[in-house]
Amino acid sequence: MDKMGESDRARNKGIPATPRDGSAVEIVGLCKSAVRWLLDLSRKNEYPFHGVTIKRYGREETITYDEWNRKIQGHFERLFFVSENPADQNEKHPNLVHKRGIYKDSYGASSPWCDYQLRPNFTIAMVVAPELFTPERAWKALRIAEEKLLGPLGMKTLDPDDMVYCGVYDNALDNDNYNVARGFNYHQGPEWLWPIGYFLRAKLYFSKLIGPEIYAKTVVMIKNVLSRHYVHLERSSWKGLPELTNENGQYCPFSCETQAWSIGVILEVLYDL
């Protein structure tokens, strides 16, 4: 989510539209996956190192892959899961919680509001490091994502209930509106295709853990979603899937008509099925 503002008129030029600073949820998941892999190789003596050496407070310190792996595992849900119980005292900014039972988009953002935004990125962490998630919590969070973010072909990049949501991407528009001028809202609502692959794969994975009946219903749901991609592929003169659509699957003239990751994630879903 790398959009930089481009409008002098709206005064957003050079400002990241979605900085997602602090710890972004999918980066933490990818880190956990990589560390777990290195730990496994190290234990099998297929990799000669057992950790990393860092400098902290001017002194060298070695952190083993095992310690690193356990630290992420031990802290992830405590810091990223937004409890369904309003009485839970774990939150730094309880006044900013506007949806419960979800996983934060980031932790420690310079703008604390952004931590609590609902985006589809947590589903990436669910696929690459499912061990970080309690299945029942994960399942409820996926249900909220389905209700709020799932579009005909892609996933809304931001919760429609968010104050800066705008689902129509127009890169040619240059006006005084800070939030949309020159496509500033590229990742603030338009429905990107690549996250839908992770969302569907996460649904498939955790439905198996919830129970056979739920799993069977999930397979039907996933096939229904993929049928829309099939129809688009049949009708596309590019024989491909687009980068993104505007809200509710509307055609976006500023979207690439076919992208490798859009079709790649669908192939991964089919593989998992």
Q: 187-239, pLDDT tens digit by residue?
A: 999 999 999 999 999 999 999 999 999 999 999 999 999 999 999 999 999 99
Q: 173-185, pLDDT tens digit by residue?
A: 999 999 999 999 9
Where exactly are the structural domains of the chain? 23-272
- 23-272 placed in CATH 3.20.20.100: no
Does pLDDT of 90 surpass 90? no
Neighbours of 137 (CB within 10 A): 18
Q: 45-54, pLDDT tens digit by residue?
A: 999 999 999 9
- Determine what percent of the chain is predicted with pLDDT higher than 90: 96
| pTM (global) more than 0.85 | yes
Q: 141-171, pLDDT tens digit by residue?
A: 999 999 999 999 999 999 999 999 999 999 9
Does pLDDT of 88 surpass 90? no
